[in-house]
Every structure is written in structure tokens, then in C-alpha cells.
């Protein structure tokens, strides 16, 4: 999300909804553990809850699945028009509907192929191994600040093609932008100002990188396919959005996943019994995504008069798909509040349909590599308190200190 703040953003949609949820999102208890709140709301209101204003909250798995796949629900005219540094407002494809969404997504998809992502496998593993080795030297480390954040920042910077001299500012901006998805009243005034500056800074830096000859990564590929100010503005907006989304989502997946495993020692032992193999951990990542997904909410609007499981939804109504609630629907997941690494992977953590997360494969690779190298160091809980980011839309552990075996480099 980039540019000056004269826009109706997706945060505006979320702002409207969060004031109408059948639970209090401002409560500190909600930040620490929203899942009992989701469960209570589903029991009281069912899988689809229509608010007094006519907007809708979706708490059930099947209902969420249907909305995410249904072209009658999209982002609509309330999507952000974002200043990109080229003087041309542009919508990133992450917040648009077809046909504009299809055109922009295809441009990114051609540069963001599975082959390209898989080619990063060895580099990601080496980065994770080095970060974990350094973190383990003192015997205790913060998984989030010493492993998850630097790993995610370096990988997404490489993928996008952010020049070395811009990476420090890029990382700081990326970590702030996810907070901008929350309602303004949940963000301190000083933080709101920092978020606004981060949007401008990130747009400017991506614009500078795009104009440089001989760029790398996604920026290089998109620059070849960029003609005219509007197309260049769309490229800046899209890259900025991918930075914010990809960076914080992966941090949340690694931090939340590590915490979940430490809270379920039987499942941690299961991974140890499997030899910490890449294949076994990759399967475990799917259950970690279900259990505590890094993105909790997917906002949509009804583009036409529609219905969700028999509940009428008039055109223009805002629909909030609670991914965290859907992933714990007991109709689909027996004993849903228990981590079980042998479950069939049916989660909605990356969405579905035309807006399915383009970076899903990359996030999985990073989480698998980070967890594999962390688990080889036998992580154990310390007496330090585990804290969560105050963000509500994105959910991520903010601090998670663990004991690690220093030893020698634990690469396979």
C-alpha cells in the first residue's frame, strides 16, 4: 500500500466491519487468542452473521469457501486508489476485480512462476541455516527478530529486486504497512504517521529501483512489460503491496508455527521422530497454517445482489471472511482447537479463487526451511512472555524467545 492518505482503502472496509463484529476486537485478550471469540460467535450466530447495518461476517468453512470462489463478491469501487510516486493513482491487482485484476495478475504471474520460486530453494535453506546458527550461539534467541524477520526481508527483497542500498528502508517500511490494514482507532497516532511515511518511502524506493537499468527479480521482469505512466504506476503499487503482504505473512507463519509447536510437545516430538526431513516439515506447515494463520480476515463486497448459504446480501454490502474462524470450523476439522500434524490440508489460509495468494509457494518454502533448521537445534520454551503484534487483520507473534542448542552448524 503506497502513497498519500487521500484514499478509501481496504482498511476502510475493515474499519466498518470491526465495529460490528459479534465480539470485541479491541480487547487485549482477543489479540492474544481470538479463537475462543470466533467459536462463541459461531455458536451464537451460526456460520453467517448479518449485522444490523446489513453487512455480513462469515465464520464457517463452507460459507467462506463459497464467498472466496464466487465472482459476485469482490473489492468493488471502494478499493484504494493509491499514489505511486509517478503522479498517477493506480490500483494494485490485489485489491481489484476482473478484468483489471486478471490483466495485472497475469503480468506478475509470468514473473513469479513456480520454477522461479523453486530456484530459490537452496538460497532460502542456506539463509535460514545461517540465521539460526547465529541465533543459537548464545543458547537463547528470539525466533521472530533473529530468524523470521531477516529471512523474510532478504528473500522478498531478492525476489522483488530491491537494490542493496535501499534494503534497510524497505524492511522498515514493509514491517509498518501491515498495521495500516487495521482500523485507525486501533492504531496510535504516532504509528499512523509512521505508516503514512512508510507508504511514501516504499513507493519512492520502488519507483527509483524500477527506473534503474539492469535491475533484478520481479522489478526487472515487470519493467520489460511496462509502457507508459499508468502501467509503471501499477507496477509500483503492485510491488509495494507484494512487499507488505509477503513479508509480514511469512514472519507470522514462522513465528506462529514455532509457538504452536512449542505449545504442543507431542506434535513437536512427532517431527523429531520424522528426522526433521523437509518433506515431513512441509506437511506440518499446512496444519500450522490452519491452526494459527498469519492473515485472519479477507474483506469482500457484494458486487450484485447475492446470498451466502441462504442469507441475503444486497449489492454493496461488505462481507468479512474470517479465515481464522473458518479454519477451526468443527464441521470440517474434528477437535479443531488441537494441533494435529496428520490432518488433511484443507485450510483457507491463502484464500481461494482468483485472489489465491501468489506467494503461497514461497511462504511455504521459507517456513519449511526456517522450521527445519530451528527444530534441529531442539527449541525449548524459556520463561519469557510470548507477545503478539497488536495488528488484528494480520496475526503474528512479536516476540518468542527460545532455548536452542548452539553446537556446530546444524545443516543436513
Report the half-sphere exposure of 252 (CA within 13 A, side-chain side): 27
300, β-bridge pairs: 319
Cα(362)–Cα(321) distance, rounded to whole angstroms?
24
Cα(252)–Cα(231) distance, rounded to whole angstroms?
31
Alpha-carbon torsion angle 35, 40, 43, 48, nearest 10? -70
pLDDT tens sequence across 95-152 = 666 665 666 666 666 656 667 677 788 999 999 999 999 999 999 999 999 999 999 9
| Cβ-contact 293, 360 below 8 angstroms | no
Where do runs of H (alpha helix) occur along 19-162? 28-32, 35-45, 61-69, 100-111, 114-118, 121-136, 143, 149-160
Cα(49)–Cα(28) distance, rounded to whole angstroms?
23
Per-residue pLDDT of the chain (412 residues; tens, 9 = 90+): 223 222 233 444 445 555 567 777 778 888 899 999 999 999 999 999 988 878 899 999 999 999 999 999 987 644 444 444 434 455 555 566 666 566 666 666 665 666 767 778 899 999 999 999 999 999 999 999 999 999 998 888 887 777 777 777 777 777 777 666 666 666 778 888 887 787 777 777 777 777 766 556 666 666 665 555 656 676 777 777 777 677 888 999 999 999 999 999 999 999 988 777 889 999 999 999 999 999 998 888 899 999 999 999 999 888 999 999 999 999 999 999 999 999 999 999 999 987 777 778 889 999 999 999 999 999 999 989 999 988 878 899 999 999 999 975 455 5
Cα(79)–Cα(13) distance, rounded to whole angstroms?
9
pLDDT tens sequence across 292-331 = 999 998 888 899 999 999 999 999 888 999 999 999 999 9
Helix (H) or strand (E) holding 140: strand 140-142
Give which of 335, 196, 367 is closest to 271, Cα–Cα: 367
Please give the backbone phi and psi of residue 394, each rounded to the nearest 5 degrees, phi first.
-90, 140
Cα(396)–Cα(34) distance, rounded to whole angstroms?
12
C-alpha cell at 24: 470485541
Q: What is the length of the chain? A: 412
Contacts of 312 (CB under 8 A, 6+ apart): 305, 306
CA-derived radius of gyration, the chain: 21
Helix (H) or strand (E) holding 73: strand 73-74
Phi-psi map region of 271: left, alpha, beta (phi>0 left; psi -120 to 50 alpha) = alpha
Contacts of 12 (CB under 8 A, 6+ apart): 78
Structural domains in the chain plus CATH codes: 10-403 (1.10.630.10)
**DSSP string over 258-308:** HHHHHH-HHHHHHHHHTTT-HHHHHHHHHHHHHHS-SB-EEEEEESSSEEE
Cα(237)–Cα(277) distance, rounded to whole angstroms?
38
Q: What helix, strand, coil percent values describe the chain, rounded to 5?
A: 55, 10, 35
Cα(345)–Cα(299) distance, rounded to whole angstroms?
23
142, β-bridge pairs: 401
57, β-bridge pairs: 49, 320
319, β-bridge pairs: 56, 300
| Cβ-contact 272, 326 below 8 angstroms | no
Determine how β-strand 140-142 pairs with β-strand 297-302: unpaired
Amino acid at each position: 500500500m503506497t502513497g498519500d492518505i487521500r484514499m478509501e482503502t481496504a482498511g476502510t472496509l475493515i474499519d466498518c466491519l470491526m465495529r460490528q463484529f459479534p465480539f470485541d476486537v479491541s480487547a487485549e485478550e482477543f489479540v492474544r487468542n481470538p479463537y475462543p471469540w470466533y467459536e462463541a460467535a459461531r455458536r451464537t450466530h451460526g456460520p453467517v452473521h448479518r449485522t444490523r447495518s446489513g453487512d455480513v461476517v462469515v465464520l464457517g468453512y463452507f460459507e467462506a469457501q463459497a464467498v472466496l470462489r464466487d465472482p459476485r463478491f469482490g473489492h468493488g469501487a471502494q478499493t484504494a486508489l493509491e499514489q505511486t510516486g509517478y503522479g498517477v493513482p493506480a490500483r494494485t491487482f490485489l485489491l481489484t476485480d476482473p478484468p483489471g485484476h486478471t490483466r495485472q495478475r497475469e503480468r506478475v504471474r509470468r514473473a513469479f512462476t513456480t520454477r522461479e520460486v523453486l530456484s530459490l530453494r537452496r538460497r532460502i535453506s542456506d539463509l535460514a541455516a545461517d540465521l539460526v546458527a547465529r541465533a543459537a550461539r548464545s543458547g537463547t534467541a528470539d525466533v521472530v527478530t533473529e530468524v523470521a524477520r531477516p529471512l523474510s526481508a532478504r528473500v522478498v527483497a531478492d525476489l522483488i529486486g530491491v537494490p542493496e542500498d535501499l534494503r534497510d528502508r524497505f524492511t522498515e517500511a514493509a514491517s509498518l504497512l501491515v498495521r495500516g490494514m487495521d482500523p485507525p482507532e486501533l492504531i496510535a497516532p504516532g504509528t499512523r504517521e509512521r505508516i503514512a511515511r512508510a507508504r511514501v518511502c516504499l513507493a519512492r524506493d520502488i519507483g527509483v529501483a524500477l527506473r534503474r537499468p539492469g535491475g533484478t527479480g520481479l522489478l526487472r521482469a515487470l519493467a520489460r512489460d511496462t509502457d507508459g505512466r499508468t502501467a509503471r504506476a501499477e507496477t509500483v503499487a503492485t510491488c509495494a503491496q507484494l512487499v507488505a503482504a509477503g513479508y509480514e505473512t511469512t514472519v507470522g507463519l514462522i513465528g506462529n508455527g514455532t509457538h504452536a509447536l512449542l505449545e504442543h510437545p507431542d506434535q513437536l516430538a512427532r517431527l523429531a521422530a520424522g528426522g526433521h526431513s523437509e518433506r515431513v516439515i512441509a506437511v506440518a506447515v499446512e496444519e500450522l497454517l490452519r491452526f494459527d494463520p498469519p492473515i485472519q480476515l479477507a474483506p469482500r463486497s457484494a458486487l450484485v445482489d447475492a446470498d451466502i448459504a441462504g442469507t441475503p446480501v444486497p449489492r454493496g454490502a461488505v462481507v468479512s471472511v474470517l479465515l481464522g474462524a473458518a479454519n477451526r470450523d468443527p464441521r470440517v476439522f474434528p477437535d479443531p482447537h488441537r494441533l494435529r500434524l496428520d490432518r488433511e490440508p484443507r485450510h483457507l489460509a491463502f484464500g481461494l479463487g482468483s485472489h489465491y495468494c501468489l506467494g503461497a509457494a514461497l511462504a511455504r518454502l521459507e517456513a519449511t526451511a526456517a522450521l527445519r533448521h530451528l527444530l534441529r537445534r531442539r527449541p525449548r520454551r524459556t520463561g519469557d512472555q510470548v507477545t503478539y503484534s497488536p495488528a488484528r487483520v494480520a496475526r503474528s507473534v512479536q516476540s518468542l524467545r527460545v532455548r536452542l542448542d548452539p553446537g556446530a552448524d546444524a545443516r543436513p
